[in-house]
Chains A and B, each alone.
Chain A
Amino acid sequence: MSSTSFKQVAGRQLRKKTSFKQSVNNSLTMAYRGVLKIRRTPEQLFDVTLQPIIFTLMFTYIFGGAISGNVQNYLPVIIPGILVQTVITTSIVTGVQLREDMDKGVFDRFKSLPIARIAPLAGALLADTIRYTIATVLTFAMGYIMGYRPEGGLGHVVLAALLVIVCAWAISWIFAFFGVIARTASSVQGISMIVLFPLTFLSNAFVPAETLPNWLQWFVKINPISHLVTAVRDLANSGTVGWDLTASLIGAAVIVAIFAPITVRAYMRRT
């Protein structure tokens, strides 16, 4: 009983579980890893930089005249809409990248380390908020260049931006779940687009819900994306806070409450 190894084992302070503090620290370290990866491969930011610029220009000039009479009047409608659409589409990438990442050997090491099980997932999701921030800032900047002057003022615009980022983060758990259970990265992309395309377009993001047929209005009105878009419009355009903001936040919380645990569990089971 006097061997070196035994002393090594006995001398260690072994913990049976990770503490909450450790979980947070581990997640932050994993987020740091995500940030480093973005810095190493800046080309993966193409989508979040180009999409806001191109989509904002395109949709505003295509729909502006038809829907609001002119581009100026359409900007308060379209900018929040395109913001929500762009940022939430961006969150698909989280799932796709997670899938690619998990196939690499490094995830084996993460699993063999005495770290919080949720950290590799939470870290990846946290790092992606950078992407959402870039998309958000660029969309608002594009709007500003095109003449959009949100009446809510800068403070409310920042709040609106934060709201969108938080909601996109929550929604990214759904795609993270697909990422964990799917077999390939491209299938994650496929499933996610099928879910997201109808959700973002069958909302009030681009057109006022009143112009739609009744049966469609019903869906558009219960669509959580519509609530988020309305909440952003309220904040940015008039600086008001309404039921839609609460609904968006509740929705985000519910998504995280459901998808975070099942994603972590699926991640743990998958080897």
Chain B
Amino acid sequence: MDMINRKETEAANGEWAIEARGLVKNFGDNRAVDGVDLNVRAGTIYGVLGPNGAGKTTTIRMLATLLKADEGSTRIFGYDVVKDPHIVRQLIGVTGQYASVDESLSATENLVIFSRLLGLGRAEARSKAAELLEEFGLTEAAKRPLKNFSGGMRRRLDLAASLIAQPPLIFLDEPTTGLDPRTRNQMWDTIRRLVKTGSTVLLTTQYLQEADELADRIAVIDHGRVVAEGTVNELKASVGTSSLHLSIQNPRDIQDARQTVEQVLKVQSSISSEAGKITAPMADADRVTDLLIALRQKGIQLDELSVQKPTLDEVFLTITGQGIKKVDATLSDESDKVEEGRV
């Protein structure tokens, strides 16, 4: 049933959990967020992908009424975060990058206090806390002070605290950073379960894999700007499933080699000049055979050849290198501009 509802949400077209326009935030001279637009459809998981310091946390803080934007506007389910912050706060749950729970108190006490603040009665708050602890597998540790909690337990408690009011929109700021693979997978399951109950989730992450696993749509953010936005598949298509690294023996051949690569593989490549390396997305492994033949025919000699699975670096290389706003199949349209930019 939940899946059906999600489909309907997709079909409803025009019901947005988040609509952010031109968000800007300066910290002194540092422009942390530089004109971010985000549209998140209700009932979906939206991933904001970016390296450290890209402006992910600042963006979330502005969306969640924790920080005032210098410019731009945000609407959460149609409510403006500046005009109606109190209404917006009734619709969101925020889980910060650093556990936003009380270190000196026990897990139960934390949840009871947050429940009470949200207007639950004393008995209600107790049962809600017990219920959430059970759900997140923390019952055994319920009475222990948080100082003795592991990172994973703390994150789970943090998430549990965000779910007390069952908010329709949940912000998760790097929910799995610093977790071991097993706890990370548990966290992912929890997040998926959340969306099945109808919540919308916006999560930030540094890991392509995480966005891949969870998100319906992804915005790639770098230096405070959205450099790419699309579904996971659209994004992947632009990167190629893997990338090809070529080292050329004679540095003078490098431009020639690059042209050959681009003609044969029909993709954009990039050069790291100091190492004399060409990097290109490899969508179709079969074409590499053609490429190698073509290089031999032109008398270009290779030093080294390797294939790498896509990493976040590659996403950035591809996307920021092209400087395009939308990732789609029409990559060749942009190629002229790119050439100019690189010369």
Contacts and interface: CB of A to CB of B under 8 A. Distances in A.
Contacts of A17: 86
Contacts of B96: 105, 108-109
Contacts of A15: 86-87, 90
Residue in A5, A26, A111, A271 with the greatest tally of chain B CB atoms within 10 Å:
A5
Nearest to B161: A109
B100 to A, nearest CB: 4
A193 B61 CA distance: 35
Interface in B3-47: 5, 8-9, 12, 15, 17, 42-43
Given A1-B12, A14-B90, A119-B117, A111 B66 contact: yes
A133 interface: no
Given A109-B101, A119-B117, A6 B92 contact: no
B43 A113 contact: no
B105 A3 contact: no
B109 interface: yes
Given A16-B84, A108-B94, A5 B17 contact: yes
A2 B87 CA distance: 21
Interface residues of B, number: 50
B86 A4 contact: no
Contact of B104 (A14, A18, A37): A37
Interface stretch (A28-36, A88-96, A156-164, A176-184): A28-36
B102 A33 contact: yes
Contacts of A115: 117-118
A6 B15 contact: yes
A190 interface: no
B256 interface: no
- Main secondary structure, interface of A, reads helix
A37 B104 CA distance: 6
B109 to A, nearest CB: 6
Interface string B188-212: 0000000001111000000000000
B114 A16 contact: no
Nearest to B67: A271
B91 A32 contact: no
B119 interface: yes
Interface string B291-313: 00000000000000000000000
Contacts of A32: 113, 116
Contacts of A1: 12, 15
Interface string B64-108: 111110000000010000001011011111101011111111000
A25 B105 CA distance: 20
Interface in A108-139: 108-115, 119
A25 B149 CA distance: 30
B109 A36 contact: yes
A113 B15 contact: no
A145 interface: no
A104 B101 CA distance: 9
A106 B100 contact: yes
Nearest to A40: B104
A105 B66 CA distance: 12
B55 interface: no
Contacts of B109: 36
A70 interface: no
Contacts of A62: none
Interface residues of A, number: 39
Contact of A29 (B102, B113, B161): B113
Interface string B139-154: 0000001000000000
Nearest to A9: B77
Given A9-B91, A105-B100, A114-B89, A2 B12 contact: yes
Nearest to B65: A112
A8 interface: yes
Contacts of B43: 3-5
Nearest to A113: B117
B149 to A, nearest CB: 13
Nearest to A28: B116
B101 A106 contact: yes
A22 interface: yes
A9 B84 CA distance: 14
A8 B101 contact: no
Interface in A65-119: 104-115, 119
Interface of A: 1-6, 8-9, 12, 14-18, 22, 25-26, 29-30, 32-33, 36-37, 40-41, 104-115, 119, 271
7 contacts: A1-B15, A3-B9, A3-B42, A5-B15, A16-B86, A106-B102, A109-B161
Given A32-B116, A36-B105, A108-B66, 20 more contacts: A2-B8, A3-B43, A4-B5, A4-B197, A8-B166, A15-B87, A16-B84, A37-B104, A37-B105, A105-B101, A109-B96, A109-B100, A109-B114, A109-B161, A111-B66, A112-B64, A112-B94, A115-B118, A271-B66, A271-B67
Q: Which 6 interchain pairs have the tightest Cβ spacing?
A: A4-B198, A5-B42, A114-B89, A3-B9, A105-B100, A109-B100
Interface of B: 2, 5, 8-9, 12, 15, 17, 42-43, 61, 64-68, 77, 84, 86-87, 89-94, 96, 98-105, 109, 113-114, 116-119, 145, 161, 166, 168-169, 197-200
